[in-house]
Amino acid sequence: MTDPTDIPPIDDDQALAGELALRVLPPAEESAARAREAADAAFAAHVEAWNEQLAGLAEEIAPVEPSAWVWPRVEAGIAPPVAANDNSVVFWRRWAIGSTGLLAASLAAVVMLMAQPGPEPITPVAPMAVTRVATLTLESGAAAMTLAYDPATGELYLAPTDAMAGDVRIPHLWLVMPEGGVQLVGAIDGSTISRHSLGQTLSGPAGQANAVAVSMEAPGHTPAPNKPDGPVVAQGELQRL
C-alpha cells in the first residue's frame, strides 16, 4: 500500500492541468485553460503528463467490442483538439474501446477531486483516519460509480459512469450498516462527479458502514432515513485504502 506521505503534493497548475486532461472543467474554464495550454509551455507539459498517466490506466483494460453508441457519444463530447495537445483524442479513444474505461475515468476523477482543497476538516471519527473506497455496480455487473470517503475531513467523493444516464428518477445514496439496516445520505447527481460534506451527523455512520447502495426515487420525493421507497439499483462494498 502506498504511503500517503510519499505522494508529492499537487500544486494549482498541476491540478488544473489534470482537470483539463479529464475534461471535467466547465466550458468557459476549459476554453481559458486551452488558451493557456497553447501559450504556456510549462502548463502544456503538465497537461501532457496527465494525458500520459491517465492513458496508462487503459493499457490494463482488456479490449472488448463496445456498443454501437459508445464512440459517437464520446466523439460528440470532444472539442476539436488544439495543436499543443494532439494526444487528447487518442487518450479518449483508448478509453472508449473498453467497457470498463468509464470506470477508470471515474476513479481518476475521484483522485482529482480529493487533491483539491475543501472545507475545514471536521473532527476525525477515529484516531487513525483511513480513506474508504467502493465501486458500486448494477445487477448486470456494470459499474455505476466510484466512491471515496475521507473520514479525516468528513468528505464524500462520487464519480458516476453513464450507467444510470437517461433515468428520470433521482438517485439516493445509502450507507449499509454492519448490524443491518441502512442510513440515508441523500440525493446525489448520477451524471457528474461531485463532492459532499457529510458533517457530524453522518460522519459516524459513514465510518462504520461496510457497504453503500443507490436507490432510485421519484422526483421531488425524499424517502425515510432508514428505508428506501424506490428500487435499490446499485451497491458496493466499502474497502480500506
Per-position pLDDT tens, the chain of length 241: 444 444 456 678 888 888 888 777 788 888 899 999 999 999 999 888 888 877 766 565 556 665 555 556 555 555 454 444 444 444 333 433 333 444 555 555 555 555 555 544 444 443 345 578 888 999 888 888 888 888 888 888 888 888 888 889 999 999 999 888 899 999 998 888 888 888 777 888 888 889 999 999 999 999 999 999 999 999 999 887 6
**Residue 147: inside a domain, yes or no?**
yes
**Residue 3: inside a domain, yes or no?**
no
CATH of the domain at 202: 2.60.40
For residues 231 and 171, give the distance between their C-alpha atoms in angstroms, rounded to a whole number.
10
What pLDDT is stored for residue 163 in this prediction?
Answer: 86
What pLDDT is stored for residue 87 in this prediction?
Answer: 45
Residues 137, 236 within the same domain: yes
Residues 49, 136 within the same domain: no
Residues 24, 94 within the same domain: yes
Residues 86, 160 within the same domain: no
Residues 136, 235 within the same domain: yes
For residues 215 and 227, give the distance between their C-alpha atoms in angstroms, rounded to a whole number.
10
What pLDDT is stored for residue 127 in this prediction?
Answer: 39
For residues 26 and 148, give the distance between their C-alpha atoms in angstroms, rounded to a whole number.
23
Last residue of a domain, one of 99, 116, 148: 99
Residues 228, 137 within the same domain: yes
213: enclosing H helix or E strand: strand 211-217
Contacts of 190 (CB under 8 A, 6+ apart): 144, 145, 160, 164, 165, 167, 171, 214
**Residue 75: inside a domain, yes or no?**
yes
Last residue of a domain, one of 75, 99, 123: 99
93: enclosing H helix or E strand: helix 87-96
What pLDDT is stored for residue 196 in this prediction?
Answer: 85
**Residue 123: inside a domain, yes or no?**
no
Coil, helix or strand at residue 12: helix
* Domains held by the chain: number: 2
**Residue 106: inside a domain, yes or no?**
no
CB 155 within 8 Å of CB 121 = no
Residue 192 belongs to what domain range?
132-240
What pLDDT is stored for residue 93 in this prediction?
Answer: 39
**Residue 77: inside a domain, yes or no?**
yes
For residues 11 and 196, give the distance between their C-alpha atoms in angstroms, rounded to a whole number.
22
**Residue 117: inside a domain, yes or no?**
no
Residues 94, 138 within the same domain: no
